[in-house]
Amino acid sequence: MTETELALLAIAAFLGMLLNATLGWLNSGESFDPRKFVSSILRGIVTVALIIVGLPATMPAGQVIGLVQYFLAFLSGAGVDSVGHEISDITGVKDRLTPKKPSNT
């Protein structure tokens, strides 16, 4: 596995996270608030770090990365973001990381 392949896997994972966060925002019906994407970006960085550290340690030397591995990296990014979002909803961490704006009513 080359550094280029590893970088492309990291990009695929980050794009999966980005797609998941964007679809979540579109589904919410709220106006765009970039502050709410911070937690997704942090989860995307964690996913990328896990791929960069873990994948070379588990793959045999000289193995070629195929389309399936890129697709799985994409799904990993989306999955980590989705699960992280659900965990933050359950634990209430989301409210502490991104406090609601005060209402003007």
Cβ–Cβ under 8 Å, residues 5 and 70: no
CA-based end-to-end distance of the chain: 57
Look at 2 and 71; give whichever has higher pLDDT: 71
pLDDT for position 15: 93
pLDDT(102) > 80: no
Say yes or no to pLDDT of 74 above 70: yes
Please state the pTM of the whole predicted model: 0.76
For position 69, what pLDDT does the model report?
87
pLDDT (average), residues 37-66: 84
**Model confidence at 90: pLDDT above 60:** yes
Q: Is 34 helix (H, G, I), strand (E, B) or coil?
A: helix
Average pLDDT over all residues of the chain: 82
> Helix, strand or coil for residue 78?
helix
**3-state DSSP helix/strand/coil % of the chain, to nearest 5:** 75, 0, 25
**Torsion (CA) 8, 83, 100, 41 in degrees, nearest 10:** -10
